[in-house]
Amino acid sequence: MQWEWASSSIEAEADVPDRALVIVPTYNECENIRRLIATVLVQDARIDILVVDDGSPDGTGTLMDEIVAQNDRVHVIHRARKLGLGTAYIAGFRWALERDYAVVLEMDADFSHDPVHLPQFLLAIEDADMVLGSRYQQGRVTVVNWPIARLILSYCANVYARAVTGLPVWDATGGFKCFRRSVLEAIDLDRVRSNGYAFQIEMSFRAWKRNFRIAEIPIVFVDRTEGTSKMSNSIVREAVWMVWRLRWWSLRGTI
């Protein structure tokens, strides 16, 4: 009995992540990125940050080179042109897996994802394999300042994604999330197909199908005040079809 207690307490200690990487994809975020990085880094000393910039015409990439030169907790990947959110995250995941980060987080550059939630993610991941920041926890909407049409689209997209794929989460399309390294190692990143908001559904779906433990924490999502949204109709169309493909691959056991 004594031994069991001792071994489980050692196991619990081992689950506290020691290094975490926050990945932030950017396209034209020069008004936000410097302040975002500063606000992220003060949240927890274990956190480093990796920005994946897609050749932003507004000079975000040049600004990043300056910041990286001043702070060894900050890193950047430059890609030649706008190649999409999904492949930006995949590039970031690979970068993290080549290093010793125990935990990897995703977040947007535009302050819609408030960095004050980061310590809550790091706490929640101690007892989960993946943590999702949820705007619709228990059906309660915690979104501020979004146009009503955008909110309805997002809410309905979540109901639809849950109905088609069976993924048992409140917010499947959100982009504020946290993975244990083991989840990213278990998912074959070469086979992830989505590139827009469907990317978020696909990653969570693949983790769920591998029986990883998913937790959700409520977050307050605030619409951006600086810069503009890169949301497009083709991103919505991709998500509409992708959930059916996920279901199909899952039925055939090829996911």
Ligand X SMILES: Nc1nc2c(ncn2[C@@H]2O[C@H](COP(=O)(O)OP(=O)(O)O)[C@@H](O)[C@H]2O)c(=O)[nH]1
From the list 71-79, 131-139, 187-195, 216-224, the region that binds Mg ion by CB under 5 A is: 216-224
Strands 103-106 and 177-180: antiparallel
> Given candidates 32, 112, 134, 200, which one binds Mg ion under the rule CB under 5 A?
112
Q: How far is the CB of 191 from Mg ion (least distance, A)?
A: 27
- Residue 8 interacts, among ligand X, Mg ion, none and using kind-specific CB cut-offs from 5 to 8 Å, with none
Total residues at interface with ligand X (CB under 6 A): 20
Question: Pick from Mg ion, ligand X, none: which does 82 bind, CB < 5 to 8 A by kind?
Answer: ligand X
Residue 110 within binding range of Mg ion, rule CB under 5 A: yes
Three-class SS state of 132: strand
In Å, how far are 53, 142, 162, 209, 220 from 202, measured between CA atoms?
22, 23, 12, 10, 23
- Report the candidate in 143, 153, 238 with the shortest Cα–Cα distance to residue 195: 238
**Is 152 among the residues that bind ligand X (CB under 6 A)?**
no
- Determine the 3-state secondary structure of 179 from DSSP: strand
| DSSP H helices in the chain | 2-14, 33-41, 60-70, 85-97, 118-124, 148-165, 181-186, 198-209, 233-251
Residues 6 or more apart whose Cβ sits within 8 Å of residue 90: 189, 192
Per-residue x/- mask for ligand X, residues 95 to 134, rule CB under 6 A?
-------------xxx-x----------------------
Of 226, 231, 240, 241, which one interacts with ligand X (CB under 6 A)? 231
Q: Between residues 77 and 255, which has the closer beta carbon with respect to ligand X? A: 77
Q: Which positions lie near Mg ion, rule CB under 5 A?
A: 108, 110, 112, 224
Q: Which positions lie near ligand X, rule CB under 6 A?
A: 25-27, 29, 52-54, 82-85, 88, 108-110, 112, 224, 229-231
